[in-house]
Structure 1
Amino acid sequence: DTLAYFNAALSAENAGNLPKAIEYYTKVKDLNYPQPLLYNSLSSLYLQTGDTTAALNVILEGKSKYPDDFNILIAETNIYLASGQNEKAMANLQEAIEKDPTNPTIYYAIGVNYAQIDDIENAEKSYKKAVELRPDYFEANYNLGALYVNQAAMLLEEANALPFSQQAEYEALKKQANDKLSLSLPYLEKAIELDPSDRNTLLSLKEIYTRLEMYDKMKEVNELLNE
């Protein structure tokens, strides 16, 4: 009985018995239970056991039966992202945007994908779109701020590698780095507003305030870090 297997799968999953849950969900799937989310659940269980190949195979089977299901598309994309298959992930994300063009989570995922392949310009655009669509999106605010911080770090590294005789070039690069840090501030400050206890954001802000000589702000962050 399909429903009995489905209930048994749910019970096993809730009890943390992943092998049994996988066994019962597979039986339900093989009985052609007409529910797309079944494939997401089974794929997620395989991921929890570390079997990425089985997780992807289940999702692809679900996609062949439900080609227009948005949740299956996103689950497939997440597997590609987790396994570094950036081109396949990007193709799926572009398809997802066409289906749901105002979904900030998709733009965030696109930004992550671009950042992983060092396409900084498109990563920046995608994170900005995610923040525009959902201003209280912590991860998008943090990642956009971190993107600028990383650019600043690269500029400072380049500046510090210059010989002493190239002082003008050093100052120019240092100014560019500080400009990038200034760009990061609104997003990291928004991130800490959304999650005041996030230590990574606080440490980034401390470094930025120090470099930009914003000592009152630095003192506030130090107090939060020492709480």
Structure 2
Amino acid sequence: MKSRYVIIASALFLSVASFAQKNEIKAAEKALKSGNSAEAITILDGAEYLSVNAPDAEKAQFLFVKGNALLDLANKNVEADKNLSLAAKAYQELVELEKASGKTKYSAQATVSISEIKNKLINAAIADTKVNKDAEGAIKLYDAYELDKNDTINLYYAASTYVNAKDYVSALKLYEELKALNYSGKATYYYAVNKVNNQEDFFKTAADRDRLVKMGTHEKPRTEEVPSKRGEIYKNIALIYVQEGKILEAKKAVSDARITNPDDTSLILTEANLYLETKDMDTYKKLIAEALQKNPNDVDLIFNLGVVSAGAKNYAEAEKFYNKVIELNPKYINAYINMAAMKLEDEKVIIDEMNKLGTSPSDMKRYNVLKKNREDLFRSTIPYLEKAVELEPKNVDVSKTLLNVYSALEMTTEYKALKAKM
């Protein structure tokens, strides 16, 4: 009889607790509807202990109202970062709870809100990076990835942003996560210009884009092939290890990557760059030869070989690679730009020496020699810069560089003609 009384009393307690939580949730909903999200959170925080023994349906409602209140606070810029994170957590708990219970009353709305939070985090991260708050941006990008692990591009961007923040420990952790996922990032993007606003729209499939082009709402369709990012990922892993003095770990990381992805030529470049960093020129040259043997006419590969060679200040070899790219694809604009930029690097050396000279006859003689060298250097860049402007007339940076060259050489006619087009 006594034990039966205890069971009845416990059931009565649960009933009272459930009733109390229902009232608190209703009060929180009322506060939220009146625009007082802070009060709603205060009410829910005070009733949170009651949710432990509450039925699943009430727990779900509690989490839904809590998520809505926190998101509303974030939208009002009240501790936005913190409340976005807490709102996402509440919605995720809700979705998991309803998934386990088999009832999905709030999950659809919660999923929409999670997507909204994800987009807000990405936009906030972009804003952070624009004002050099890379560490904060990286955290937001990783939080966005945590909300949708199918969208692995955010994990990649988070790792890259940590590199920009010089937080190499955090970056390495995320790169290792990308490595475990065997992330590539290789993709095909489809675009077309919207005739209404003249803006380029992105499409997930060629069929979606082509359908609208055929309907006449869009024009100028183009397809962009995004190359594999594995090379960059393993390169950064290796460089972080090198920076930490862990050369063996660096070499093993790239070696393992090549075994897993034998056809990914970007990894050959990564390994070559690693041996270049460690001054092992014999192995570096061997790997470069291997890359060329695999793809002798791959302009992207040859261009990257030029970049690696230029980075090692092996300008003669870099020029050979850039010229090969131009020979294979005369419209490969970056080859022209890099060639000109590489040549212009020598200007600083010339200027530094000119500034150190005095006014003695020997110094003036040397000055005239250096002046001519500088003018010859500028003239050597003109064909590459003019071709780059021809290929991409809206590239302001290239046009400005060419204007500076014209000005330095007192090519007034050419300067005015280019200026008029900008």
Aligned counterpart for 1:40 among listed residues 164, 167, 184: 184
Structure 1 or 2: more strand by fraction: 2
RMSD: 4.0
Between the aligned partners of 2:333 and 2:383, the Cα distance in structure 1 is 12
8 Å CA contact 1:210–1:218 kept in 2: the answer is yes
The residue that corresponds to 1:74 in the other structure is 266
- Kept in 1, the 8 Å contact 2:310–2:318? The answer is yes
Shift of residue 14, structure 1, vs aligned partner = 4.7
Among residues 167, 171, 174, which one is paired with 2:364 in the alignment? Answer: 167
Question: Which aligned segments of 4 or more residues in structure 1 are displaced greater than 6 angstroms?
Answer: 22-25, 45-48, 56-59
Quote the Cα distance in structure 1 between the aligned partners of 2:414 and 2:257. 52
Unaligned runs of at least 5 residues, structure 2: 1-147, 157-175, 187-227, 241-249
2:302–2:324 Cα contact (<8 Å) kept: yes
Aligned-residue identity in percent: 26
Distance verdict in 2 for CA 1:162–1:62, change over 3 Å: closer
2:53 corresponds to: none
Q: Secondary structure at the match of 2:331?
A: coil
Q: 1:219 to 1:153 in 2, by over 3 A?
A: farther
The structure showing larger relative contact order (alpha-carbon pairs under 8 Å, at least 6 residues apart) is 1
> How many Å apart are 1:215 and its aligned residue?
0.8
Distance 1:80 1:105, change over 3 A: same
What is the rounded CA distance, in whole Å, between the counterparts of 1:66 and 1:24 in structure 2?
Answer: 14
Question: Which sections of structure 1, spanning at least 5 residues, go unmatched?
Answer: 1-10, 28-37
**Within 1, Cα distance between the matches of 2:322 and 2:343?**
12
- 2-side partners of 1:41 and 1:132: how far apart? 29
State which structure, 1 or 2, has the greater radius of gyration over its C-alpha atoms: 2
Match of 1:219 in 2: 416
Q: Which residue in the other structure is 1:190 paired with?
A: 387
Q: CA deviation at 1:144?
A: 0.5
Alignment deviations for residues 81-124 of structure 1 (CA, whole Å, 9 cap, x no partner): 59x84767765433111111122222221221122122222222
TM-score by length of 2: 0.40
Are 1:120 and 2:315 matched, yes or no?
Answer: yes
Contact kept? 2:231, 2:266, Cα under 8 Å: no
1:58-73 matches, within 5 Å, as 60-65=255-260, 67=262, 69=263, 71=264, 73=265
Q: In 2 relative to 1, CA 74–210 (structure 1 residues): closer, same or farther, beyond 3 Å?
A: same
If the length of structure 1 is used for normalisation, what is the TM-score? 0.68
Aligned-partner residue type, residue 208 of structure 1: V
The alpha carbon displacement at 1:171 in A equals: 1.0
Match of 1:156 in 2: 351
1:35 maps to which residue? Answer: none
Q: Which amino acid in 2 is paired with 1:77?
A: L
Moved more, 159-168 or 198-207: 159-168
1:167–1:62 CA distance, 2 compared to 1 (3 A): closer
Q: Deviations over 1:125-171 (max 9, x none)?
A: 22222222211111111010112222234223322322122222211
